[in-house]
Amino acid sequence: MSQPYVHGYDALESVRLQDQAATLVALLHADTAYPDGSTVLEAGCGVGAQTVTLARNSPGARITAIDVSAASLAQARGAVAAAGIGNVAFRQADLLDLPPDLDAFDHVFVCFVLEHLPRPLDALAALTRRLKPGGTMTVIEGDHGSAYFHPASEAASRAIAAQVELQRRGGGNALIGREVYPLMRAAGLRDVHVSPRMVYVDGSRPGLVDGFTRRTFTAMIEGVREPALAAGLLSRDEFDDGIRALHRTTEPDGTLCYTFFKGVARKA
């Protein structure tokens, strides 16, 4: 099931993921905590950007974090060790080919994973089967179609659309946030509740201007420059105009909005 990761695996992307996680802790994770003694499967932990927060919020839970990439797991182990966290075990595993002993969890946590999968429903269904009856699943995904900004810019919109198209060609879906509810329902989960989590950034929020607009969202679009040019989606000047327009939104009169979608449900 391993798919090309559209954002790449270099050191800059790892830094971007860590910046994103740090910036969005309160917005995405403040209401996620698991009871002492419960078992939690984090599916697709990547470099551990969400794992540290997940473990800190539930220090008495036993967390198993899995990913298909050995290199990402090595970084995740390092991040957890550096944070002094001891309640996480790591395993290399494919979401659609899970080892039989990874079974009967109280909770499953999936964050920024489904967007990269060609068969997100199959992955959710496979994870649902590993939940205990009455267990819960949490899914968090973004939606690039929710991005809007001031000053408005067709060039910026085209650069974002190029990233969306690259992800589509790689088998993923950068617009999957809007599908969290139907996907969770189709996977057999019950009592599905999805809440939108909007990031709104303006000049009065300098931490978000730097942490989200500049170092998370714009850095993500900027990171696909070479693949977008190689695919002929935009000319060099067109793409660079779009990035300049996104950076323009970080000035005192600029604004940017983006919405994540957080779904929580249970297994019957």
Q: How far apart are CA 19 and CA 211, in angstroms?
A: 6
Tokens of 66: 């899995």
CA 167 → CA 89, 164, 173, distances in Å?
Answer: 30, 5, 6
Confidence category of residue 22, pLDDT binned at 50, 70, 90: low
| pLDDT of res. 18 | 52
Render pLDDT for 104-137 as a digit per residue (tens, 0 to 9): 999 999 999 999 999 999 999 999 999 999 999 9
Domains of the chain with bracketed CATH: 11-267 (3.40.50.150)
Task: State yes or no: pLDDT of 14 exceeds 90.
Answer: no
Percent of the chain's residues with pLDDT above 70: 92
Render pLDDT for 172-201 as a digit per residue (tens, 0 to 9): 999 999 999 999 999 999 999 999 999 999
Render pLDDT for 134-168 as a digit per residue (tens, 0 to 9): 999 999 999 999 999 999 999 999 999 999 999 99
